[in-house]
Amino acid sequence: MANRSQRQRGAILIAFSILLIVVLGFIGLALDVGQVIGRKTELQNLADNAALAAAAELVGTPEGLLVAVERAKHSAADRSVWRRRMEGAILSDASIRFASASDAPASEWYVAGAVPDPATALFARVDTQANTPSLGQVATAFLGAWSPALRTLDTRARAVAGRSSLHLTPLAICALSGSAASARTNAALLPAVELLEYGFRRGVAYNLLKLNAHGAVPEHFVLNPLGQPGLVGPSQQVSESSVLPFVCSGTVLYRRIGSAQVHVHRPFPSALWPAFNARFNQYAGSGCHPVTAPPDMNIRAYPNTAANWWMMNMPDAPSALSSGNPLLSVADPESNATPPAVGSYGPLWSFGRAARYSNPKPAGGYLSFAISDWAKLYPAAPTAPVAKSLYPSDKAPYLTTAYQTAPSGNTGVAQRRLLHIALLACPLPAGNDVLAQVRGIGRFFMTAPASNGMLSAEFAGLANEGSLLGPAELLQ
């Protein structure tokens, strides 16, 4: 009986020993796998943050690429993402690459110094497997006892980030001329001449819904906010319901336009004008929401009847009047042989000043005219507009407390009233949906809320497409 009991205890001890070895093996496996998973998580966080940091600096220039590399390296060196938040990591140039598409093949991802065209480098990729020194090696504690090949395990992470939108209003109009910079001669100003940019004068307001440099009928278009450059998209993409949220936000889902043609639809729907007025904190009937379409920080309309108006002559319309064939603002014609009525110009210099033409363009930008030049710049009958002494000397009225009204109930965002509008090479072919060449992107400051057939906006110069890129996003 005693021998039987001893044999049972011996069998249990053997079984327990075997089970203990198995359990310890699983514990060891769990610990080693846990190390690998932990390292993988750290690497992915590191790659995500570094790719986002790099993508935020991609503005289409070689300098932007170099800054992107530095930002990625700086992000990886932050102690908050690596080695259990104890130290930073060193990224090598080979692990940071750039391409023109997020899904570009491996052969089309380049290090910063080898990118063929920086203007098309819109996406950044961080791949830790390509890094020197290696970041993904994990020394095992238990698996190495089973096999020398398991003493070190490798893991990796890859992240791709880029921009998928442009701060571009889905309204397009015709450029008034084909020249990005030309001179507007006015005998009273000589030897100085005024700068025209695609035919537009800085500091002058235009009705963007009543212009046509090639006829007497207004031409304005929907810029397809969902399309791809070079293709005419389906009709649903330019329907009022599809376009409305993009008018509210002032964005389109283009990664880049560059020299490609874009799909435009004529005309711009009259029903969508209330969406522009969200910028003035007017949401009734707009279809916009203050979270995705916040008001401007200054919602004061120009002109107004306040005593501190900055012009001696009160404009009789919120925008320069348009008439004739071609259909142009009264401020546009080269000849001022028949000066317009004094009120026809609309508000002047509410956001920016008229500029002096110079070729080549000065390194610091075009110089501005002085307020004392108004009478020569804007002849009118019976007298020309004159700037009051109240016109601020150091900044535009828009930025001056005396000419500001803050929105109530919603948080304002600076320069929301500034619309970025595609200027098209016109005339365009007949038809509702056509492809058009974008000559440039104009900056237009809304001087007053829109109404049916009236979108009053002061020209404020041209914008570089690289400055209009939307926020960087993780794409892979």
User: pLDDT tens across 79-108, in order?
Assistant: 655 555 566 788 989 999 999 888 889 899
Mean pLDDT of 432-458: 95
CB of 458 within 8 A of CB of 201? no
Mean pLDDT of 16-33: 59
pLDDT at 138 over 80: no
Asked which of 41-50, 73-82, 251-260, 429-438 is least confident by mean pLDDT, the reply is 73-82
d(CA 365, CA 319): 26
Mean pLDDT of 430-446: 96
Q: Is the pTM of this model over 0.75?
A: yes
Give the gyration radius of the chain's Cα atoms.
31
Please tell me the number of Cα atoms within 13 Å of 114 on its side-chain side. Answer: 9
Q: Where are the domains of the chain?
A: 2-163, 171-474
pLDDT band at 15 (very low <50, low <70, confident <90, very high): low
% of residues, the chain, pLDDT over 90: 53
Mean pLDDT of 215-227: 95
Tens of pLDDT, residues 358-397: 999 999 899 999 999 998 999 888 888 889 888 998 889 9
pLDDT at 350 over 90: yes
Three-state secondary structure along 232-277? CCCHHHHCHHHHHHHHHHCCECCCCCCCCEEEEECCCCHHHHHHHH
